[in-house]
Copies of this chain bind each other. A is one copy, B any other.
Amino acid sequence: MPVTLVEVAARAGVSPATVSRVLNGNYPVAESTRQRVEEAVRELDYVVNAHARALLHATSGIVGVVLNDASDPFFAGIARGIQGAAAETSRLSVICNSEGDPEQEFAFLDLLRGHRADAVILVGAAPEDEEYRAAAIARAKGLRSSGTRLVLCGRPAPGDDAPGDVVTIDNEGGSIAITRHLVELGHRRIAYVTGPDGRSTTTARLAGFRAALAEAGLAVDENLVVHGDFSRQAGREAVERLLAAGHDFTAVLAANDLVAAGAVSALRAAGRSIPDDVSVAGYDNLPTAVDVWPNLTTVHVPLEEIGRKAVELAFGPGNAQETTVVTVPTELVVRDSTAGPATG
């Protein structure tokens, strides 16, 4: 049904080859011919068929972004950076929500491979089990053999031999910084509401927490370490459980700002004032961190920059076999939700 190049050629009274040359502009065409063709294009409202073109070039101009959930501000921030950078190379970004389900993730990877994506950027923490790792490596190899570049974003490489560049976040460093901040304020009993178990991000942030406490000569009370996912609700429920169990703590460190926001509601509902009774700290410095009252102390993660970096790696010069690993730094942001513990 759509207009084809042949029809344009007929209308302009030239051969299809000439139309193609005008369209691509990379070949000499007489000015008068060009004008006639351009007019025909306009009159017929012709748009080239991207598939026919992709079939010839074995490339598609699309960048696949596979992430858990684009409505989560963490992923949204990275996706935003990717889109911006991809658009600058005039490529279309395709965002795919895997809902954190490895099966869906792999399905999207195959789909994207079928579409001959120029690059696929896989965003977010990875499951840490062996089976997943093996499958991920296989997928990575498959993508490369199809000529699709792969960049991992916010997760470590699945293995040394796996192809694909990597943009990781200094999660452990940020976690150390914010834990130190609490310790320096005088907190000794700090609750930690982590992300989902067995995910690389969770592990790294938790490791930072433990490292900072160890450094200060403080023991970790395992009763105060609660698992959840990266949602408000998880934060709320975790703190409710902690409170119900009668555990004693003067600060809550959360896996991210959403969790922290949930923690804040739970504490407030229990009549604890923040930061006077309990300090709360988040992670990621999501936009909502300043909606929460008091504004959250958190760790800034340069989300958009991470996305841009990923695109840079995908299409940068290091187009070869080597895999580049970039680690973006994080930075402590002190706001109003943390203070010294109540004396006594």
The residues of A with any CB-CB pair to B shorter than 8 Å are: 1-3, 45, 47-52, 54-55, 58, 60, 62, 69-71, 73, 76-77, 79-80, 83-84, 87, 92-97, 108, 110-111, 113-116, 141-142, 145-147, 232, 261, 264-265, 268, 287-288, 290-293
Sorted nearest first, the 9 A-B pairs with minimum C-beta distance are A71-B76, A2-B146, A50-B114, A51-B54, A51-B51, A293-B293, A95-B95, A261-B291, A50-B115
**Which of B1, B70, B84, B92 contacts A76, CB < 8 Å?**
B70
Q: Known interface pairs A116-B49, A290-B232, A293-B293. Does A83 touch B97 (Cβ–Cβ under 8 Å)?
A: yes
| Contact A71–B60 (Cβ < 8 Å) | no
Q: Known interface pairs A79-B71, A80-B70, A116-B50. Does A292 touch B290 (Cβ–Cβ under 8 Å)?
A: no
> Inside 8 A of A232's CB, which chain B residues have their CB?
287, 290-291
Smallest beta-carbon distance A288→chain B, Å: 5
Query: Nearest residue in B to A57 (C-beta to C-beta)?
Result: B51
| Contact B69–A1 (Cβ < 8 Å) | no
**Which of B70, B92, B111 contacts A111, CB < 8 Å?**
B92
Task: Identify 19 new A-B residue pairs, CB closer than 8 A, beyond the known A84-B97, A292-B292.
Answer: A47-B114, A47-B146, A48-B114, A49-B114, A51-B52, A51-B116, A70-B76, A92-B111, A93-B94, A94-B94, A94-B95, A232-B291, A265-B290, A265-B291, A268-B293, A291-B291, A291-B292, A292-B293, A293-B293
> Inside 8 A of A292's CB, which chain B residues have their CB?
291-293
Query: Nearest residue in B to A110 (C-beta to C-beta)?
Result: B47
24 contacts between A and B (CB under 8 A): A1-B146, A1-B147, A2-B58, A2-B113, A2-B116, A47-B146, A49-B55, A49-B116, A51-B60, A55-B55, A70-B83, A71-B73, A71-B76, A71-B80, A73-B73, A83-B96, A87-B97, A92-B111, A94-B94, A261-B291, A288-B288, A288-B291, A291-B291, A292-B292
A261, B288: Cα distance in complex, Å: 9
> Inside 8 A of A96's CB, which chain B residues have their CB?
83, 92-93
